[in-house]
Amino acid sequence: MNEYTFSILFGVTVGTLSRIYMFRTDYRQYPTYPHGMVIHLALGFIAAALGALVVPSIMEEEFTAVTFLTLAASQFREVRNMERKTLNEMDSLELVPRGASYIEGIAVTFEGRNYLVIFISFVSSLAYLSINLWAACIAAFLAFLVAKKYMTGSRLGEIAEVEQATVSFDGAGLYVDNIYIMNIGIPVRQQEILKHGLGFVINPKNFDARSTIGNLGQRQAILHDLAISLGVYRDSGTPALVPLIKRDLDDGRIGIFILPQNKSADLAMKVISQVPTLENAIRMPTETKEKGSGQS
Question: The CATH number of the domain where 191 resides is what?
Answer: 3.30.1360
Does 110 map to a domain? yes
Claim to verify: residue 128 and residue 25 sit in the same structural domain: yes
Question: Are 167 and 271 contained in the same domain?
Answer: yes
Across the range 59-70, mean pLDDT stands at 75
Last residue of a domain, one of 152, 179, 210: 152
Question: Quick check: 66 and 57 in contact, CB under 8 A?
Answer: yes
131 and 169 both lie in a single domain: no
Considering the domain boundaries, does residue 57 fall inside one? yes
143 and 194 together in one domain? no
- Is residue 83 domain-shared with residue 166, that is, in the same domain? no
> At 270, is the secondary structure helix, strand, or coil?
helix
Phi-psi label, residue 169: left if phi above 0, alpha if psi -120 to 50, beta otherwise: beta
Domain boundary among 152, 170, 199: 152
Considering 90, 119, 152, which residue would you say is the last residue of a domain? 152
Measured in degrees and rounded to the nearest 5, phi and psi for residue 163 equal -140, 150
Per-residue pLDDT, 294: 46
User: Same domain, yes or no, for 192 and 269?
Assistant: yes
Are residues 161 and 128 located together in one domain of the fold? no
For residues 117 and 120, what is the distance between their CA atoms, to the nearest angstrom?
A: 5
Q: With 0-12 CB in 10 A as exposed, 13-18 as middle and 19+ as buried, what is 18?
A: buried
Residues 6+ apart with CB under 8 A from 14: 48, 120, 121, 124, 140, 144
Predicted model pTM: 0.80
Q: Tell me: do 108 and 9 sit in the same domain.
A: yes
What does the pLDDT read at residue 24? 67
Question: 188 with 274, same domain?
Answer: yes
Q: Are 48 and 11 in contact (CB under 8 A)?
A: yes
Tell me what the mean pLDDT of segment 124-140 comes to: 88
Q: Is the pLDDT of residue 292 over 50?
A: no
Share of the chain above pLDDT 70, in %: 90
Q: Is residue 65 part of a domain?
A: yes
Do 141 and 178 reside in the same domain of the chain?
A: no
pLDDT of res. 203: 92
Identify which of 234, 213, 190 has the alpha carbon closest to the alpha carbon of residue 96.
234
Residue 230 resides in a domain: yes
Residue 287 has pLDDT above 50, yes or no: yes
Quick one: 162 and 148 in the same domain?
A: no
pLDDT surpassing 70 at residue 25: no
| Mean pLDDT value across the chain | 83
What is the number of structural domains in the chain? 2
Whether the CB-CB separation of 294 and 254 falls below 8 Å is answered with no
| Residue-range definition of the domain harbouring residue 133 | 5-152
**Residue 272 half-sphere exposure, CB side, CA atoms within 13 Å?**
28
Average pLDDT over residues 265-293: 78
Q: Does a structural domain hold residue 219?
A: yes
In this structure, are 198 and 134 located in the same domain? no
pLDDT number for residue 270:
92
Kindly tell me the burial class for residue 230, based on how many C-beta atoms sit within 10 Å of its own C-beta (0-12, 13-18, 19 or more): buried
Q: What is the pLDDT of residue 291?
A: 46
* The predicted structure's pLDDT at residue 296: 38
